């Protein structure tokens, strides 16, 4: 049974890696973005609450996000483990995730941080914006998003590093190469079996 968090800056390929790693390990990939969309689309009480903030362009408060994640982690497909992407973003959320997992008499195995140089990420995201015609993604906006990421995640990463469960993996390189590096680290350092993937 494997329980992993994946953390990484915008443009690091974290979402792609989350899908590939979860497939290799045979565990559910859970993205907070997907949880929000499912709740909003399904018009659940939490989705209706979250929509008010999203429509106003505000962050969804921890109280709403925490409950959505708790509900998702109680679903049947995560009994054999999970790979959680996009949560926790704050130390308060770290505490709440500890509370959810401890309530199930479980623990986190690994926190995987995908790293990349900001300059490389800016170039990558500007290229992506050009390809997709996203004029709102200019260099100033991208750098602001990266600054926010560093601000938010520094304390979160420090918490998990202190517990000895943090693994850093370079996110620059071919997609398959990064996945292989992740799997090697999981197997060698954390004794996580490579699973039934390719």
Q: What per-residue confidence (pLDDT) applies to 197?
A: 46
Confidence check: pLDDT of 72 > 80 = yes
pLDDT category of residue 19 using cuts at 50, 70 and 90: very high
Active-site pick, 128, 143, 159, 168: 128
What pLDDT digit, counting tens, does each position of 31-64 carry?
988 898 899 999 999 999 999 988 887 778 899 9
Confidence check: pLDDT of 195 > 70 = no
- Average pLDDT over the chain, rounded to whole? 90
Q: What per-residue confidence (pLDDT) applies to 163?
A: 95
89 in active site: yes
Active-site pick, 51, 70, 145, 159: 145
The answer to whether 85 and 3 have CB atoms below 8 angstroms apart is: no
The neighbour count for residue 57, using CB atoms within 10 Å, is 6
Confidence check: pLDDT of 198 > 60 = no
51 in active site: no
Q: Judging by beta carbons within 10 Å of its beta carbon (0-12, 13-18, 19+), is residue 23 exposed, middle or buried? A: middle
CA–CA gap between residue 157 and residue 7 (Å, rounded): 9
pLDDT category of residue 118 using cuts at 50, 70 and 90: very high
Active-site pick, 14, 20, 24, 124: 14
Q: What per-residue confidence (pLDDT) applies to 194?
A: 62
User: Where do the domains of the chain lie, and which CATH numbers do they carry?
Assistant: 2-187 (3.40.50.300)
First CA to last CA across the chain, in angstroms? 19
């Amino acid at each position: 049974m494997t329980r992993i968090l994946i953390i990484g800056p915008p443009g690091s390929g974290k979402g792609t890696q989350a899908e590939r790693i979860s497939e290799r390990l045979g565990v559910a990939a859970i993205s907070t973005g997907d949880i929000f969309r499912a709740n909003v689309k399904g018009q659940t009480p939490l989705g209706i609450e979250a929509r008010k903030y999203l429509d106003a362009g505000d962050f969804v408060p921890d109280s709403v996000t925490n409950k959505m994640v708790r509900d998702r982690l109680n679903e049947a497909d995560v009994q054999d483990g999970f790979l959680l992407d996009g949560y926790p973003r704050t130390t308060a959320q770290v505490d709440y995730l500890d509370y959810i997992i401890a309530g199930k008499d479980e623990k986190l195995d690994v926190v995987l941080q995908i790293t990349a140089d900001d300059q490389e990420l800016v170039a990558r995201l500007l290229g992506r914006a050009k390809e997709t015609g996203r004029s709102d993604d200019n260099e100033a906006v991208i750098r602001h998003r990266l600054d926010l990421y560093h601000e938010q995640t520094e304390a979160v990463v420090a918490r998990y590093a202190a517990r000895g469960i943090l693994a850093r993996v370079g996110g620059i390189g071919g997609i398959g190469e990064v996945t292989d590096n992740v799997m090697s680290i999981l197997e060698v350092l954390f004794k996580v079996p490579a699973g039934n993937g390719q």
